[in-house]
Chain A
């Protein structure tokens, strides 16, 4: 019994420690942005590595996600004979929820995990201490460009992904459920408002920040060799997934 309580307490303390660490690191990043002295070469390199290289996986994910939404809503609207609503259901779900969430989860796996692995390797091989010895602030040099790059690129990838997902919804509707292209197009155009799209974009800004902060935090605080690096990556993707779901809830609830 006392062992169970001890385990529970240890878990709670660990979570509090991690949340606190992430908040402190966020504070340091914000502090480094005033005045904005950014390492532009590092930023451009990260933008390319995190954004351009993630396009294929995001496009594939978004295409299937859009298709799945039509697969789920299609039979229902066909049964009611209201195929003009197919685009409404699929498009609304894609733009506001499924698109931003799935793209953020894939981004967290592809970019966040990769970033944690890279920073963690640098940490365990004492490269961060090397930077400090040269009087270079690791937060300013390594963390800030990565955070900015991830936030910009997740938004850009969500814009692309939303478009591809709507295309996927139309293709699946045409191929599997015999809903015409034009029916689908007008269904999107009549029922979706610019705000639905913007709502997803707000979310992806927040998700980008959460993924960036958790992946950098677990990267720079890693301990102990190869085993530690694996554990850090694992912890980073789990923290990112939980914060994506929590942020999604609060943003939806607050902005309506």
Chain B
């Protein structure tokens, strides 16, 4: 009997912990929005975060998205060569996919790794060295001071990097198609299939990921306990939490868009 009881207690404990975490995450999110409305956070810090989140991720995003863009075009052309051998649609379909899904989502996943881990590591280190308590003691809200500038910077920079990452993916894909399969660039770089709804979808996704990553990672950082081990745990949780929220948001937004446009996306 005691075995069953331990099991039930384990599951119950996990459920209680998870629901408490969801409530806390919600509080951090509301606190961040309230801080943005109040105009919390300092101007100088915002510039610093824009630089840290945007400029410093530039090389990372260009390298990763460039390579995955080449791979995707390569795989698609390989399949088409086996089946039809008709490459006239590759470029325009590929661009449609980049704009409506892969551009924002892959950029979001990469930023969740780099920016999410960075935010959690920084805030987590401050938490375990009691700098957060010092902030509270001097009458500063930690969320306003730490998360609001990162939130605003991430909103702006995720959108910017999404546009850049999508362009790099498309360009890398075009070069691969040209040099490996002899696809004419003027045929590949064809904007015919792009409609305003695709661009709107891209912006919605980029903004959603940009909002989710700093809030989830900041929340993980603020929950850090103990010393160096706690910071490690917080950073791990931030990477998982923010990557996973990008995937879930992608699914929800894509399904909603499909539903709103009546299946004709």
Contacts and interface: CB of A to CB of B under 8 A. Distances in A.
Nearest to A62: B247
Nearest to B110: A241
B17 to A, nearest CB: 15
A109 B240 contact: yes
Given A68-B250, A248-B71, A61 B244 contact: yes
B113 A76 contact: no
A45 B169 CA distance: 41
A117 interface: yes
A154 interface: no
Interface in A202-246: 225-231, 233-234, 237-238, 241-242, 245-246
B124 to A, nearest CB: 6
A64 B251 contact: yes
Contacts of A93: 75
A231 B121 contact: yes
A97 B75 contact: yes
A116 interface: yes
A183 interface: no
A241 B64 contact: yes
Contacts of A18: none
Contact of B236 (A60, A75, A117, A238): A117
A37 interface: no
Interface string A107-121: 011100110111011
Contacts of B109: 102, 105
A226 B113 contact: no
Contact of A102 (B79, B110, B117, B247): B247
B236 A242 contact: no
Contacts, number: 164
A238 B117 contact: yes
Contacts of A60: 244
Nearest to B251: A64
A253 B250 CA distance: 28
Contacts of B230: 226
Given A61-B247, A227-B125, A234-B118, A79 B235 contact: no
Given A113-B117, A124-B228, A242-B60, A233 B235 contact: yes
Interface string A6-25: 00000000000000000000
A53 to B, nearest CB: 12
A176 B255 contact: yes
Interface in B40-70: 60, 63-64, 67-68, 70
B70 A249 contact: yes
Nearest to A249: B67
A38 interface: no
B236 A113 contact: yes
A174 interface: no
Contact of B117 (A125, A228, A233, A242): A233
B236 A110 contact: yes
Contacts of A117: 229, 231-233, 235-236
Given A117-B232, A121-B228, A241-B113, A96 B75 contact: yes
Contact of B120 (A230, A242, A256): A230
Given A57-B244, A68-B101, A226 B235 contact: no
Nearest to B235: A233
Interface stretch (B22-30, B132-140, B149-157, B257-265): B257-265
A177 B233 CA distance: 40
Given A64-B251, A230-B125, 15 more contacts: A68-B251, A71-B254, A75-B264, A113-B240, A118-B232, A125-B228, A176-B258, A226-B128, A226-B227, A226-B231, A227-B231, A234-B117, A237-B113, A246-B63, A252-B75
